[in-house]
Amino acid sequence: MLYETRMLEREQAAGKAGYEQGKIDVAKVILENQMDNGSTLEQATEYIRNLKIIPNGELEKVVAMYNSPKN
């Protein structure tokens, strides 16, 4: 019984991690769409922040990818 409980806990943790990654992916798509439609990075960031899809710390990580210089 303990083994089954632990397996269920692992499945639930994996599902939650996938759900959180999905929210980050959605925020990235919205950010790109906003910028494609003429918003600045700052405006797009504020738009996503107001939607409260992901925590601000995660949002800053996403924005940092767009701020980094391209090689």
What percentage of the chain reaches a pLDDT higher than 70? 94
Summary mean pLDDT of the chain:
89
State residue 49's pLDDT score.
95
Q: Would you give the distance in Å from CA 49 to the centre of its chain?
A: 11
pLDDT for res 8:
83
Question: Considering the entire predicted model, what is its pTM?
Answer: 0.77
Q: Is the distance from CB of 65 to CB of 35 less than 8 angstroms?
A: no
Total residue length of the chain: 71
**CA atoms 6, 8, 14, 16: torsion sign:** negative
Q: Which pLDDT value is given to residue 3?
A: 77
